[in-house]
Every structure is written in C-alpha cells, then in structure tokens.
Homo-oligomer: A and B are copies of this chain.
Amino acid sequence: MKVYIEPIGKLINEFSKLPGVGAKTAQRFAYKVVNMTDEEARAFSEAILNVKRNVKYCKICGNFSEEDVCDICKNRSTETICVVKEPKDVIAIEKLNEFDGVYHVLHGTISPLDGIGPNDINIKGLLSRISGNGVREVIMATNPDVEGEATAMYITNLIKPLGIKVTRIAHGIPVGTDLEYADEVSLARAFVDRKTL
C-alpha cells in the first residue's frame, strides 16, 4: 500500500522540487502545512501565486520588479552601472548599503560548455544603455569563477573602446580569514592584486 495519503504525497513532491530539499525535509515541511491554520495555508498558497503574477523583470536593468521599471532604475543616477549575473546578486549588494548606482542583470554568464554564448545573456541591453547616457563607470561584479571572469573580460573588451571606465570587484582573501586557511587561488590573487600602502 502507499505510505502517504495522496494530498500529503503530492505536497511532499512539490516541496522536494525546492533546491536542497530532500525527502525527509519535504515531509517535515508538509507536516508543518498540515498543522497550519486554514488562514496561514491560504496566505502561503497565495504568496506563491502572487510572486508569479506580480513579479516581472525591469525592462531597463533586468532585475525583479513589480512595475515595468524598477525602483532602483527610477530613482538613482545612471553614472555607474554594476553588472551582475543574477537578481539575487543585486540583493546581496543592496544589503551592504554601499553602492548607490544602478545595476544591470545579465541573467547568466557566458559558458560554452553549457552552450551559453554572449547572445544568450543580456549583453545587448547593457550596450544600448551605455551608448550616450552619461555612463562613467561600469563595475563588473560577476562571480569570481571561470564563467564570471570570462564574461567580465568579454564585456570589458566591448565597452573599453567606448572610452568608459570598466572596473572589476576585488578578489583576495576574505576579511577575517587566517592566511593559513585561505584557499590557494584566493591567496594567489591577493598577491597579484596587492596594493601600495
């Protein structure tokens, strides 16, 4: 006989589609939902539909937005554009409260092995934003992995000839890490990118 009754089995199946959620965790989540009040379950269910209904991509920067143009693009100076891979990178940077320019979300990085070329990510949008809009600096904030570096290099080669300053976020050993425990690649980068005091 089947172990779970159907509605619970189905919900467990849905929860297991979430990243990093295995069978046991999905089961715990499903039991939690069973024990929710009707009100709570409705709010949960509604929040999921709501995200699909009300979240679109800003048509300027590609970040998540409730309207055609996101709040960041509406309200900030476009002198500095920070280029990131995904919307969640925008959140990570916004949480710092350090950067007050605008973003450009590529929605991916160039990765020939996965069949993702320059035309598959939002590079064209970036180029059209740059041409004649008073942009002074483009900060490449893609991840420090092979694809992120390659994408940063590719875009740099396109933009630099336009006379716009292109920068890359610094890599090195994380703050608070003992040299002894730093990974070798980061430590090597920290030496290459050392600065004069």
Contact = CB atoms under 8 A, between A and B. Distances in A.
B34 A51 contact: yes
A165 interface: no
A145 interface: no
A44 B10 CA distance: 9
A32 B32 CA distance: 20
Interface in A1-53: 1, 3-8, 10-11, 13-14, 17-20, 25, 27-34, 36, 38, 40-53
Given A29-B18, A48-B45, A64 B11 contact: no
Nearest to A90: B3
Contacts of A196: none
A52 B41 contact: yes
Nearest to A4: B91
Contact of A28 (B17, B20, B42, B71): B20
Each complex incorporates copies of this chain amounting to 2
B48 A8 contact: no
Contact of A54 (B3, B7, B19, B55): B7
A181 B54 CA distance: 53
A77 to B, nearest CB: 14
A194 interface: no
A51 B91 contact: no
A120 interface: no
A102 to B, nearest CB: 13
Interface string A48-85: 11111111000000001110001110010000000000
A44 B52 CA distance: 12
A95 interface: yes
A94 B51 CA distance: 37
Contact of A10 (B4, B5, B20, B50): B50
A70 B19 CA distance: 33
A194 B5 CA distance: 38
